[in-house]
Structure 1
């Protein structure tokens, strides 16, 4: 009996893993995923027009999983945990002098963080996109 329960549990775990790994690749019309990912801190100034494209088509991003966003945009420049087990990803979208050079001090890092243009993607508690915003952070 115990062996049968173990087999069923393993089968369910396998099916869950299979389901999660088979998520559809997201396609955003006109979005150059390679350029976005190559400009990791927006120092090459390639992300601003791409961020505008993403924002215009933000309804396609709604309800995507965190892994689908990471697959499309790569790792975020910053991750913030917010209330009720939510999080938000911040992607830099415009060059900033302190962002594109190595900050010398902690105060430089804080000043840099206060003036960045970012694409903010907020996830709900079940790790699905529920908001996409272009803002200054």
Structure 2
């Protein structure tokens, strides 16, 4: 009985820890990012510098980490071999009026490979984003 209870506790702890956000992303204001869906409130534009701080650490992270950190993508594209691109707008644009169509507004394009790990992170207009050296 005690052995079974111990196993249940260990499994519960493992499950809870797998759903969170790794420590290196704790400083990022995930809540503000998620609350500004489609970047219509203008909050994400203010968080781009903070996103740049964690950008390199996102490479190789699993999909659940991305979703816990950035929330559901504003738009998503399914590619061949189960690869996907998540789109997160970082400036207001036409997507605020019609969320069913892709907007020309600047956005983060986050590619997930067939293993559901981040393999590429780009901006639609990279020259408009100040990157950290």
Q: TM-score, normalised by structure 1?
A: 0.69
SS in 2 for 1:41: helix
Q: Which residue of 2 aligns with 1:79?
A: 76
Could you say which residue in structure 2 is the equivalent of 1:101?
97
Unaligned runs of 5+ in 1: 1-14, 104-108
**Preserved CA contact (<8 Å) 1:55 1:133:** no
Other-structure match for 2:33: 36
Moved over 6 A (4+): none
1:22 aligned onto 2:48: no
| Cα displacement string for residues 35-80 of structure 1 (whole angstroms, at most 9, x for unaligned residues) | 1111111111110232342234312101111111000011001110
| CA drift at 1:132 | 1.1
What is aligned with 1:8? Answer: none
Aligned to 2:129: none
Give the alignment's TM-score, normalised by structure 2: 0.71
Q: Distance in 2 between matches of 1:57 and 1:69?
A: 11
Q: Does residue 1:124 correspond to 2:124, yes or no?
A: no
**1:62 aligned to 2:59?**
yes
Question: What is the RMSD computed on CA atoms of the aligned residues?
Answer: 2.6
Report which of the two has the higher share of helix.
2
SS in 2 for 1:125: coil
Structure 2: gaps of 5 or more residues: 1-10, 126-133
